[in-house]
Structure 1
Amino acid sequence: MTDFNSATAGIPDDDPTRSLTVVDPDDPATTHISLAGGTYTILISGEQTNGQYCLIDMLVPDGGGPPPHRHDFEEMFTILEGEIEFTFRDEKRSVRAGSTVNIPANAPHNFRNVSGAPAHMLCMCTPAAQDEYFMRVGDEVASRDAPPPQLTDGEKAERRQRAAELAPVYRSELL
């Protein structure tokens, strides 16, 4: 546990080069990524937080979700709409809107939308980098409700290959 009374602990000076971040997910300047059939909107990037965390708005189609994976950073999900089945260390658990799930670093996991309709959730990763990974392996789309690009089988295979090759760069492992 952190010792907040430590005499050596001090709060650094304010960094005036950093500014307040306010994001409208429907602002045309916001980055939207089509990935695994869903749309991931980068609300707060690692660049904006000096790498401390990133916050991603996820619209996940029915049946959608990533393959099993693990990474060396914490990942937290708040389900806003729908029902998500999380598989954590081979154990399945359904989580409904209003709940928050934290995935500890290094633990094997994945999720799948089992709502029968699109699901909506927020994902925070700390430290950041997942936002960059998604931008490098997904396809940028114009808005949160833009349809995913129609990829050929070859393009889908290329995306999977790119995700596998870049995973170690972003401290992740596809299982």
Structure 2
Amino acid sequence: MFEIIRRSQQKPSPKGTVTFEGEPYGGQVSMFVMNSPPGHATGLHKHPYSETWVLHSGEAEFTVGDETVRAHAGDIVVVPADTPHSFANVGSERLDIVCIHASGRIEQENL
């Protein structure tokens, strides 16, 4: 069996982020689909699994452990499990990004 979650069924947050957890559908990944305005940032946090970001448009600055790096449209960023990280839209345009969690449920520890 397979599942299709239609756009009309997806409930975006007030900032426009769609959250998907795969476990209820038999999936082993979860994700945030974001389209963030300039200046939007996440707080420092970590997960007990890896996280992968795919940037479709915009520019983001990632803090990963003690390092800071910029990523642009077309880049893929991967952070290992239990690594403190955050990111911010540092560009002048909206940041269109998919944040893929290697887990059927999103687990996050804010730091």
TM-score band, normalised by shorter chain: 0.7 to 0.9
Partner of 1:46: 23
- Across the aligned residues of Structure 1 and Structure 2, the Cα RMSD in angstroms comes to 1.7
Q: For residue 94 of structure 1, what is the aligned residue in structure 2?
A: 70
- Is 1:20 the counterpart of 2:2 in the alignment? yes
CA distance in structure 1 between the aligned counterparts of 2:24 and 2:30, rounded to whole angstroms? 8
Identity of aligned residues (%): 24
Amino acid at match of 1:174: N
Match among 104, 116, 121 for residue 97 of structure 2: 121
1:25-174 correspondence runs (5 A): 27-34=7-14, 38-43=15-20, 45-50=22-27, 52-130=28-106, 170=107, 172-174=108-110
Contact kept? 1:84, 1:115, Cα under 8 Å: yes
Q: What are the Cα deviations for residues 125-159 of structure 1, in whole angstroms up to 9, with x where unaligned? A: 011322xxxxxxxxxxxxxxxxxxxxxxxxxxxxx
SS of aligned partner of 1:67? coil
Q: TM-score, normalised by structure 1?
A: 0.58
Deviation at 1:43, TM superposition (A): 4.9
Contact 2:52 2:99 in 1 (8 A): yes
Return the offset for 1:104: 0.7
The CA deviation string for residues 82-122 of structure 1, in whole angstroms up to 9 with x for no partner, is 01100001211000000111111000110000111211011
Q: Supply the distance in 2 between the matched residues of 1:69 and 1:23 (Cα, whole angstroms).
A: 28
Deviation of the 1:74 alpha carbon = 1.3
* Bigger proportion of residues as helix: 1
Distance 1:122 1:75, change over 3 A: same
Question: Unaligned regions of 5+ residues in structure 2, if any?
Answer: none
SS of residue in 1 equivalent to 2:42: coil
The amino acid that maps onto 1:69 is H
> Structure 1 or 2: larger strand share?
2
Looking at structure 2, the residues matched to 49 and 86 of structure 1 have their Cα atoms a distance apart, in angstroms, of 31
Q: Which runs of 5+ in 1 are unaligned?
A: 1-18, 131-169
Report the TM-score when normalising by structure 2. Answer: 0.87
Greater RCO, CA 8 A, separation 6+:
2
Paired letter, 2:48: D
